[in-house]
């Protein structure tokens, strides 16, 4: 099939590339000339494991092309995916300016049998808006489907190639069938292809992210309770997870969730509820608990040093909001770095991928280190934000030698508290008492 992918950001590029890999002819469109030129030369604007190889392969096979010519791409393709950015507006709702502009500009170029598909996470009702707007502009009905994406950064290719379900919202079953064909190569393991109304599909995306965020804020609140009451959240997690109604997944306590999805989607869902006269108490609480949780390392450091960090060197491991990405949007590390700088400490930071993005914000205020061990040189303490694999089994005796003070604030519970005591560290973690 011929597919135009409008918007070559994270979602658009991954989706377009994976569709090209399964034999479709995909034209990726973006208004950013430099990005398109870079992609033509094989330069991938984001870090995502496996993506670069796939882009190169499909480009070489001629199945994946890049252009800034929206009109030509839309004229050439029956399926037009919309994957433009929908950043949060000041009130938490999604800003649809880019999407609306694209809809208006592409309208005159749509083929008679075009199927427009939204892939960006958009407020419920956006599908209906596009449907009506196209009817108004063209004087005829165009098929507009919703196909939310459930990709995780760092595992996007794998998630796309092996989805646990595909959800599409359609007005006519025939449109569902066309999209089912497109996804058939990825559904070999009998995973379901679910068709529903556009509203339900749009809601599914928000509800999924809202529930996952709720699990995280819930377990973080329980971890803080464990800490006060002398319990260990890891044991409690094991204790509850065997009940299949509860399970183990997504119940790891930490420094709060970040990234471009959960914070934005929780707030957007709350904003939508408010627009409909509802009081989104749970979503508001999830968001508030998370904002507090992002301060957890700051509070622990504050308590340990009695608020005075002047002249202290604090090593920081992990800046990205999670491993296997360079994404620092809403990353808990930002809350910690702001605090350390405010208190007069010198952060010595390490991250396998995200340092450059952090440098763009903090410049020379931080010391950027090539290796995790280098970040420990002369440090009074270590604070861990992100559970990158190479932080899991460090050489503790080398750490002791390099560090000035032997204090660890572990925001991801990477180590066993009693072992850390044996190793001679003062060890603070989340929801566990030593």
Residue 81 CB, nearest distance to ligand UGA (Å)?
A: 15
- Residue 154: closest CA among 17, 14, 338: 14
E strand or H helix at 167: strand 166-169
Window 403 to 422, contacts with ligand UGA (CB under 6 A): none
Would you count residue 218 as binding ligand UGA (CB under 6 A)? no
Q: Which two tokens stand for residue 63?
A: 């199945």
As a whole number of angstroms, the distance between CA 177 and CA 409 comes to: 52
| Closer Cβ to ligand UGA, 252 or 425, answer by number | 252
Of 260, 339, 200, 251, residue with least CA distance to 46: 260
- The two tokens of residue 345 are 């400490």
Task: List the end-to-end C-alpha distance of the chain, in Å, as a whole number.
Answer: 59
- Supply the minimum distance, in Å, between the C-beta of residue 208 and ligand UGA: 6
Which of 251, 269 has the CB closer to ligand UGA? Answer: 251
Minimum CB distance to ligand UGA, residue 11 (Å): 7
CA 234 to chain centre: 25
Alpha helices (runs of H) in 166-261, residue ranges in sequence order? 173-183, 198-229, 233-241
CB of 380 to ligand UGA, least distance (A): 26
Closest to ligand UGA by CB, 318 vs 347, is 318
- Interatomic CA distance for residues 44 and 16, integer angstroms: 13
For the bound state, the minimum distance from the C-beta of residue 291 to ligand UGA, rounded and expressed in Å, comes to 13
| Contact present, 159 and 150 (Cβ < 8 Å) | yes
Q: How far apart are CB 182 and ligand UGA at their closest, in Å?
A: 19
Q: Does 425 bind ligand UGA (CB under 6 A)?
A: no
Binding flags for ligand UGA, 256-275, as an x/- string (CB under 6 A): -xxx-xx-------------
DSSP helix/strand/coil, 407 = strand
Task: Fill in the per-residue mask, 221 to 260: x = in contact with ligand UGA (CB under 6 A), - = not in contact.
Answer: -----------------------------xxx-x--xxx-
Q: Which of 298, 313, 322, 432 binds ligand UGA (CB under 6 A)?
A: 322
Helices 233-241 and 198-229 pack at an angle, to 10 degrees, of 130
Pick from 321, 415, 425, 427 the residue near ligand UGA by CB under 6 A. Answer: 321
Is there a binding annotation on residue 205?
Answer: yes
Verify whether residue 261 is a known catalytic residue: yes
Exactly one of 5, 151, 301, 379 binds ligand UGA (CB under 6 A); that residue is 151
Q: What angle, rounded to 10 degrees, do the helices at 262-275 and 198-229 form?
A: 120
160 annotated as ligand-binding = no
Sign of CA dihedral 64, 67, 70, 71: negative
> At residue 236, what are phi and psi to the nearest 5 degrees?
-65, -40
Based on CB atoms, which residue is closest to ligand UGA, 44 or 373?
Answer: 44
Catalytic residue (one of 18, 28, 226, 261): 261
Torsions phi, psi of 35, nearest 5?
A: -65, -45
Minimum separation from the CB atom of position 256 to ligand UGA (A) = 7
Short-list 421, 354, 338, CA closest to 386: 354
User: Binding to ligand UGA by residue 64, rule CB under 6 A?
Assistant: no
* 95 φ/ψ sector (left φ>0, alpha ψ -120 to 50, else beta): beta
Q: Using CB under 6 A, pick the residue from 150, 183, 218, 362 that binds ligand UGA.
A: 150
Q: Are 426 and 406 in contact (CB under 8 A)?
A: yes
Among 146, 209, 234, 385, binds ligand UGA (CB under 6 A): 209
Q: Which stretch binds ligand UGA (CB under 6 A): 78-86, 129-137, 143-151, 342-350?
A: 143-151
Report the alpha-carbon distance of residue 348 to residue 173 in Å, rounded.
57
300 binding ligand UGA? (CB under 6 A):
no
Span interacting with ligand UGA, options 33-41, 144-152, 187-195, 374-382, rule CB under 6 A? 144-152
Q: Is 91 annotated as a binding residue?
A: no
Flag whether 187 is marked binding.
Answer: no
- Residue 119 Cβ vs ligand UGA, minimum distance, rounded to whole Å: 10
Angle CA 271–115–129, to nearest 5: 30
| 119 belongs to the binding site for ligand UGA (CB under 6 A) | no
152 in a labelled binding site: yes
Residue with tokens 């408010």, as numbered in its chain = 274
- Angle of CA points 244, 250, 255, to nearest 5°: 145
Residue 163 interacting with ligand UGA (CB under 6 A): no
* Residue among 283 and 403 whose Cβ is closer to ligand UGA: 283
Choice from 18, 96, 175, 216 touching ligand UGA (CB under 6 A): 216
Which residues are catalytic, by number?
A: 261
Binding site for ligand UGA (CB under 6 A): 121, 149-153, 209, 212, 216, 250-252, 254, 257-259, 261-262, 321-322
């Amino acid at each position: 099939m011929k597919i135009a992918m409008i918007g070559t950001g994270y979602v658009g590029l991954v989706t377009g590339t994976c569709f090209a890999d399964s034999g479709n002819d995909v034209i990726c469109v973006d208004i950013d000339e430099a990005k398109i030129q870079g992609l033509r030369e094989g330069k991938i604007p984001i870090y995502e494991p496996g993506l670069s190889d796939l882009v190169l392969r499909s480009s070489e096979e001629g199945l994946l092309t890049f252009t800034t010519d929206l009109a030509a791409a839309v004229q050439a393709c029956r399926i037009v995916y919309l994957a433009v950015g929908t950043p949060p507006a000041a009130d938490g709702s999604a800003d649809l300016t880019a999407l609306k502009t694209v809809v208006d500009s592409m309208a005159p170029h749509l083929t008679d049998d075009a199927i427009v598909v939204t892939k960006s996470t958009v407020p419920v009702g956006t599908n209906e808006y596009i449907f009506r707007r196209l009817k108004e502009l063209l004087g005829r009905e165009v098929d507009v489907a919703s196909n939310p994406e459930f990709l995780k950064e760092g595992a996007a290719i794998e998630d796309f190639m092996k989805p646990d379900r595909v959800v599409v919202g359609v007005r006519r079953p025939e449109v569902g069938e066309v999209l089912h064909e497109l996804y058939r190569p990825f559904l070999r393991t009998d995973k379901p292809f679910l068709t529903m109304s556009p509203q339900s599909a749009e809601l599914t995306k928000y509800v999924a992210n809202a529930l996952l965020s709720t699990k995280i804020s819930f377990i973080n609140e329980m971890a803080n309770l464990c800490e006060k009451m002398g319990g260990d959240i890891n044991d409690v997690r094991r204790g509850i997870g065997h009940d299949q109604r509860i399970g183990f997944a997504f119940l790891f306590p930490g420094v709060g969730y970040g990234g471009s999805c959960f914070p934005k989607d929780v707030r957007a869902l709350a904003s939508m509820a408010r627009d409909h006269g509802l009081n989104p108490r749970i979503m508001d609480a999830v968001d508030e608990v998370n904002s507090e949780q992002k301060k957890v390392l700051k509070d622990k450091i504050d308590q340990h040093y009695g608020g005075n960090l002047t002249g202290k060197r604090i090593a920081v491991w992990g800046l990205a909001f999670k491993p296997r990405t360079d994404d620092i949007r809403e990353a808990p590390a930002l809350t910690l770095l702001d605090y350390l700088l405010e208190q007069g400490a010198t952060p010595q930071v390490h991250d396998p991928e995200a340092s450059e993005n952090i440098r763009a914000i903090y410049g020379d205020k931080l010391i950027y280190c090539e290796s995790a061990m280098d970040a420990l040189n002369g440090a009074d303490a270590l604070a861990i934000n992100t559970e990158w694999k190479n932080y899991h089994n460090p050489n503790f005796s080398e750490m002791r030698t390099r560090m000035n003070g032997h204090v660890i604030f572990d925001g991801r519970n990477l180590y066993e508290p009693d072992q850390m005591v044996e190793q001679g560290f003062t060890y603070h973690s989340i929801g566990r008492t030593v």
